[in-house]
A and B are shown apart, each in its own frame.
Chain A
Amino acid sequence: MDKYAGNSLTAGALRYRSESPKKAGGWLGSGSRQMETGIEFLLKLSAFIGILAIILISLFIFAQGVPLIFKIGWLDFIFSLKWSPSQGSYGIGAMLVGTLVLTISSLAWAVPLGISTAVFMAEIAPARIGSILGRMIELLAGIPSVVFGFFGLIIVVPFIRNYLGGNGMSVLAGAIILGIMILPTIISISRDSILAVPKEYKEGSLALGATHMQSIKGVILPAAKSGIITAVILGMGRAIGETMAVVMVTGNSTMIPGSMLDPLRTMTSNIVLEMGYAAGDHQAALFATGAVLFVFIVILNLVVSLSIKEGKNYAE
């Protein structure tokens, strides 16, 4: 929404936007004019800092990690299951599988629960309950990951150890905690996209004799599809990048897990666990792990911005 839209003075407002400071302060002395130009430059500079940060981040992480990836061969680095820094073996295959397994198993329960809660808030709950629930989900989103990890460590892990077997530090514990952590992302974005579906769609469906549930399933959800997909992808991004909570509950073994009760290690855990004492090639290998993670996340972000654009085209 443009702030000038729907305003009768749009043309004047647009001139304000594009006007150069020299023209704007016509009657002012040249000192203020210089000040205006100086401020405009400073503002542009601060906008540039974000771009600079992205450039520096990619530059430094790739510079630290990529040479090692080429030294041991990128296929070996990504697919080898042997991670043994003391013997000079750096393969992140098991961690890559760990990240994928954990992400998929947390999405497996958080996506259905999240979408159904989003539909509940947008369509079913009385307005008051919907808004209270919204506040609670904001609060859930604000809880730091280390607190989730702590909760997992003292409640979820002992529960699994006592009732399901194993030592409790497991894929399952990670999936439960990570699922809770990505719920707010999935719920709030899905809810917003359901609320954005034009009222006429639902009214038309109801007028044709469909029940409320049939309208939700047949009309509202399909119309909100691209927003819901965005919600899931963003949730996935958060799951892939999550570190502290995962480190605290998954046991961090470098083996590929054979069952939901086995421990695993993700790419993020690998970095935070070993960075404290790594040096030389070992440290470079951790940066290389970070580089792979970075590429994953950037690809997911691109998919999101593409799907948002597609959604907009669809809406037009």
Chain B
Amino acid sequence: MLNSNIQDRVIRGLMWLSGLLVVAILFIIIAYISLKGISAINLDFIFDLPHRAGKEGGIFSTIISTIYLTLASLIIAVPLGVGSAIHLEEYARRDSFFARLVNLAAETLAGIPSIVFGLFGFVFFVIYLNLGWSVLSGSLTMAIMILPTITRTSQEAILSVPAEYRENSLALGASKWQTISKVVLPSALPGIITGVILSIGRAIGETAALILTAGSSLGMPAGLLDPARTMSVHLYILAMEGISMERAFGTAFLIIVLIVIINYLANLSLRRMSPAGRLQ
């Protein structure tokens, strides 16, 4: 009895230790990059264009490129993702061949590594459709990458809308689409927004696929067909080519700040979901 008691305590201690270790890892990464990066941050760093391949100046063009690419990929992916979620949850029979195929495709897409998306985007958008290394090629590629996230979170959000809402709306004489657009979607909105926020996080961090599709030109993109270098790609090039470690730290710090904010917002919008949603 005593023996098993000691054994219990040892295992319990080890598990506390493993929890602590995971926290410590996260803490060390964030603390180290913040401490080293915060000194690089000032208004010039954020609002100046990079000079001499990023050795001097700021990172303004990479911030703008990141915003362009993120917005453009959301504009493409959100209607498609929410649309397919509506189709799956409100129109399709769950066991139909088409619905199963759509779900399988979403699962498979979610598992494909970003470098494979990059290869596809390169051969299909950049070469075959002749869009070149551009904001458009990059956003189309990234739109496919975030599509499964948006579809799945929208599906869950629509699923969590109580059936009574639909019944009441239909009983009042509204058509099916009126019910969906005026009743179901507004109730599902917080969940859909959570998916969008998570996708923004993924878009900010994406690197491998964008190097192959948006290029790595440091100039300010003026239009959809111009090449662009996002903050993550910039961090990779600064660090790998040893161009400027100080600016690499500053860029990494800004990316982490953005990710922390996005994480906070995602949690906030999750908690704002309807009570029915919270039960899921």
Inter-subunit contact B116/A36 (CB<8 Å): no
Number of chain B residues whose Cβ lies closer than 8 Å to a Cβ of chain A: 100
Inter-subunit contact A146/B205 (CB<8 Å): yes
Does A277 lie at the interface of the complex (its beta carbon under 8 Å from any beta carbon of B)?
A: no
Closest A-chain residue to B173, C-beta based? A27
Q: How far is the CA of A32 from the CA of B176 in the complex (A)?
A: 11
Inter-subunit contact A136/B26 (CB<8 Å): yes
B residues 12-54 in Cβ contact with A at 8 Å:
12, 14-16, 18-19, 21-23, 25-26, 29, 32-33
Inter-subunit contact A117/B22 (CB<8 Å): yes
Inter-subunit contact A135/B267 (CB<8 Å): yes
Does A53 lie at the interface of the complex (its beta carbon under 8 Å from any beta carbon of B)?
A: yes
- Which of the listed residues B98, B211, B236 has the most CB atoms from chain A within 10 Å of its own CB? B236
Does B224 lie at the interface of the complex (its beta carbon under 8 Å from any beta carbon of A)?
A: no
Inter-subunit contact B32/A151 (CB<8 Å): yes
- Which of the listed residues A240, A272, A297 has the most CB atoms from chain B within 10 Å of its own CB? A272
Does B71 lie at the interface of the complex (its beta carbon under 8 Å from any beta carbon of A)?
A: no
A residues 13-33 in Cβ contact with B at 8 Å:
13, 16-19, 21, 24-25, 27-28, 32
A-B contact count (CB 8 A): 285
Closest A-chain residue to B204, C-beta based? A144
Residues of B within 8 A of A306 (CB): none
Inter-subunit contact A50/B16 (CB<8 Å): no
Which of the residues B32, B94, B177 comes within 8 Å of A155, measured between beta carbons?
Answer: B32
Does B144 lie at the interface of the complex (its beta carbon under 8 Å from any beta carbon of A)?
A: yes
A contact set with B: CB distance below 8 Å: 1-4, 7, 9, 12-13, 16-19, 21, 24-25, 27-28, 32, 35-36, 39-40, 42-51, 53-54, 56-57, 60-61, 64, 113, 116-117, 119-121, 124-125, 129, 133, 135-140, 142-151, 153-155, 180, 183, 187, 211-214, 234, 237, 240-244, 247-248, 268, 271-272, 275-276, 286-287, 290, 293-294, 297-298, 300-301, 304-305
B contact set with A: CB distance below 8 Å: 4-5, 7-8, 11-12, 14-16, 18-19, 21-23, 25-26, 29, 32-33, 79-81, 83-84, 86-94, 98-99, 101-102, 104-109, 111-120, 122-124, 128, 144, 147-148, 151, 159-164, 166-167, 170, 173, 175-177, 201, 204-208, 211-212, 232-233, 235-236, 239-240, 245, 248, 252, 255-256, 259-260, 262-263, 266-267, 280
17 contacts between A and B (CB under 8 A): A3-B89, A36-B177, A43-B86, A43-B87, A46-B80, A47-B99, A64-B123, A117-B19, A143-B29, A147-B205, A151-B29, A154-B245, A180-B25, A268-B115, A293-B113, A305-B104, A305-B107
